Chain A
């Protein structure tokens, strides 16, 4: 890029400033009745030494050994870092990779493969556990012909293509290795592929009806193969069957920015009603908390609130909950990853169970 464009862009950067007077939504329906779960945050969890810094914390995931993967929007481009379970830096994966533009998610599959979702290059990239690219899905737009114009607001999305994404957001797998991708900001659908990346089925269009989406932002599966889609803009979680048929909707936990499901025999669903990434503190009283739920939607408790200090949350964009009492959060506006240690009150949950 030449100097003039760079200068122009800089000037324009300072003009890109909207008087965003968004309507503050009501608190999540479950907020008042959900019991608070006590918790701590591990100080200085990730030991990142200069010259490495995190930018916006976008994706976080652990593998079976407890290693932590962080996908961040940093100064160079988006970058993928690996840490050991204690937070010591191990390595960078995919440095300067063609598909790393604007981070959106990292997830680790049951075989410890590392999957990255990038909404800038519209790609989903699978790495082997040792960090080699094993499979790519979607394709980065060619630069040929110059920079394409940003479609004005309200422009209908182009017809969907089974193998191309429109700012995809997240990825999940069922026990057979089938791949589920939430796609995304431009498209509003969930796509199912087989384990080799072959298109099987899709559901969804932009809308508010059942099976429609307004930014499907995060996706998970349970051990029965059901698919949980965080339909953020519609402030609801839609639960789909393995064949992408709508089963049920949970609309009591606010806007689900991030969902995760614990492994193990008794699975739990965590959902974050994150404070918006516009950094506007007017939203802090009605958002910021994370809910712990049964898979059937019953809310067991909540924890966290919006704020910049340790234990407070600065727009949670992704969560990992391989251990049901150790939640890792990737946070956008605070440029960090926190490790939250939950201390559920066993007595309380016993009482609740017996009262049902």
Chain B
């Protein structure tokens, strides 16, 4: 009896695998390549400031560029019986021409291991730090206006889970995070946090940071995640989550009901959505090895593939593990790269007969 079930299950898996293997072949043959350029020497760094790994990049309404980068050693110090961990990531602002403007949050308590920066519609700057387990909101002036989650006070030696009765540090599910990856907002200002590899969930808060609900959980079933790594919301409040480990983008409504999923864009590391009346979705299947394949897909919101571009490498126009993307304009992308320690601004030149290419891509 058990054997029968197993063999049936294996048949099912085999069919499923065959099906899944077919998709990329299908998709690749049909998707046009989009020609593109990269702006040379985009960010003009002051003499004494260097970028490290670029985990986050975002622009505000004026075109200023914000970069959240891992720049130095994690500062570990010893207290009585305990270990303290301090800053190692920095947030920089550049103007629309790449000129350095300022550093925000220098030495901030919550800046440990950068993961994302995003700008909300009011130009507030939001930082997601997977080391401190915090999401931090700055206003345009760079003042901290709201914190979410809490950095653990200190770490026991040797490490063990904190005493739940002690009340210090993080505790999920609920208000606190465990390696959060990204943040987004709907039209009402509700906040959605993609929360880490271990919890693999999405947490929803109102605009004042009051916890509303959580969904997901680690797994591969529909609605579950294997590292929700990037999150964006379209103008109709559909929520797109890059389910990186499951090689799919899952689309939800604001209550966490699964609407659809796109499983034809490889492993989605980073998502961005354009801001015009006709919105497009970009998804990066980033390379995990130097010179490995790296592809950015341009899609309609319904998942239709419009084109793709990119390659792994170290030269201009090549990518070293894209970790975050920003795309306010339809054909202009800012990409932050981990291994290449840089931000590139990509100008796409889709074929003028784009509308001709689109129908064929739909097949």
- A-side interface residues toward B, CB under 8 Å? 1, 3, 5-7, 9-10, 12-22, 44, 48, 50-51, 53-56, 72-77, 101-102, 120-122, 140-141, 143, 147-153, 167, 276-282, 307-309, 314, 332-336
Contacts and interface: CB of A to CB of B under 8 A. Distances in A.
A280 B175 contact: yes
A19 B160 CA distance: 13
8 contacts: A16-B162, A50-B106, A53-B108, A147-B78, A148-B81, A149-B81, A150-B157, A150-B158
B85 A13 contact: yes
A16 B157 contact: no
Sorted nearest first, the 6 A-B pairs with minimum C-beta distance are A55-B109, A20-B171, A75-B107, A51-B106, A150-B156, A20-B164
Contact of B107 (A74, A101, A281, A333): A74
A193 B211 CA distance: 46
B133 interface: yes
B210 A279 contact: no
A88 to B, nearest CB: 15
Contacts of B106: 50-51, 53, 75
Given A53-B109, A75-B108, A21 B85 contact: no
A21 to B, nearest CB: 7
A333 B144 CA distance: 12
Contact of A13 (B142, B152, B198): B152
B176 A16 contact: no
Interface of B is mostly: loop
B80 A278 contact: no
Contacts of A147: 78, 81, 83, 157
B46 to A, nearest CB: 14
A22 B85 contact: no
B179 interface: yes
Contact of B109 (A51, A56, A143, A277): A56
Interface of B: 73-74, 76-87, 102-113, 130-133, 142-144, 146-147, 149-150, 152-165, 167-176, 178-179, 196, 198, 208-211
Contacts, number: 195
Contacts of A9: 74, 76, 83, 85, 155
Nearest to B172: A17
A148 B81 CA distance: 5
Given A75-B107, A278-B169, 17 more contacts: A9-B76, A13-B85, A13-B133, A14-B130, A14-B178, A17-B171, A19-B173, A53-B108, A75-B106, A75-B111, A102-B79, A102-B154, A147-B78, A277-B168, A307-B210, A308-B209, A335-B147
A334 B103 CA distance: 21
B143 A44 contact: yes
**Which of A150, A152, A167, A334 has most B Cβ within 10 Å?**
A150
B165 A22 contact: yes
Contacts of B150: 277-279, 332-333
A311 to B, nearest CB: 12
A21 B107 CA distance: 33
B92 to A, nearest CB: 12
Given A3-B73, A150-B157, A13 B175 contact: no
B76 A143 contact: no
Contacts of B79: 101-102, 120-121
Given A13-B152, A278-B150, A6 B76 contact: yes
Contacts of B86: 75-77
B155 to A, nearest CB: 6
B142 A50 contact: yes
Contact of A278 (B81, B160, B167): B167
A314 B149 CA distance: 12
A55 B163 CA distance: 23
A1 B147 contact: no
Contacts of B144: 53-54, 335-336
Contacts of B87: 75-76
B282 to A, nearest CB: 28
Contacts of B169: 16-18, 278
B81 A151 contact: yes
A199 to B, nearest CB: 21
**Which of A9, A13, A336 has most B Cβ within 10 Å?**
A13
B74 to A, nearest CB: 4
Contacts of A335: 109, 144, 147
B150 to A, nearest CB: 5
Nearest to A12: B159
A17 to B, nearest CB: 4
A10 B113 contact: yes
Given A102-B79, A147-B157, A150-B82, A19 B107 contact: no
Contacts of A278: 150, 167-171, 176
Contacts of A102: 79, 84, 153-154
B153 A10 contact: no
Nearest to A143: B78
**Which of B87, B113, B169, B208 has most A Cβ within 10 Å?**
B169
A281 B130 contact: no
Given A16-B162, A22-B165, A281-B174, A148 B142 contact: no
A315 to B, nearest CB: 9
Contacts of A332: 150
A17 B210 contact: no
A89 to B, nearest CB: 13
B199 to A, nearest CB: 8
B196 A14 contact: yes
A149 B169 CA distance: 19
Contacts of B165: 22
A101 B109 CA distance: 13
B169 to A, nearest CB: 6
A185 B108 CA distance: 27
Contact of A50 (B85, B104, B174, B211): B104
Contacts of A334: 146-147
